[in-house]
């Protein structure tokens, strides 16, 4: 049970990073001059998060427990 909880937390963290990046790109595309509310995401964290996302996709495929 704790492993599932840990994997869910990590997957939520990866998802949050992806959502933040998408929102940042959306705001930048709108050419909003006031971008002070957009937080910069560390480039290394983006690469690491992408690798984690790929890991979780594989883990989800192998997992016998389906998320609800």
C-alpha gyration radius of the chain? 15
Query: In this structure, is residue 53 part of a structural domain?
Result: yes
pLDDT at 54: 59
Please say if the pLDDT value at position 66 is more than 50. Answer: no
Query: In this structure, is residue 68 part of a structural domain?
Result: no
- Per the structure, the count of domains in the chain is 1
Query: In this structure, is residue 38 part of a structural domain?
Result: yes
Range of the domain at 8: 2-62
pLDDT at 19: 98
Contact 13, 20 (CB under 8 A): no
Q: What is the pLDDT of residues 18-54, one digit of tens each?
A: 999 999 999 898 865 654 555 555 555 555 555 555 5
Is the pTM above the cut of 0.75? no
pLDDT at 13: 95
Question: At 8, phi and psi to the nearest 5?
Answer: -65, -40
């Amino acid at each position: 049970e704790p492993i599932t909880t840990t994997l869910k937390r990590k997957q939520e963290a990866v998802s949050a990073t992806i959502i933040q990046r998408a929102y940042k790109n959306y705001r930048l595309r709108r050419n909003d001059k006031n971008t002070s509310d957009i937080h910069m995401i560390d480039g290394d964290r983006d690469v690491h998060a992408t690798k984690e996302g790929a890991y979780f996709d594989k883990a989800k495929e192998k997992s016998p427990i389906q998320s609800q």
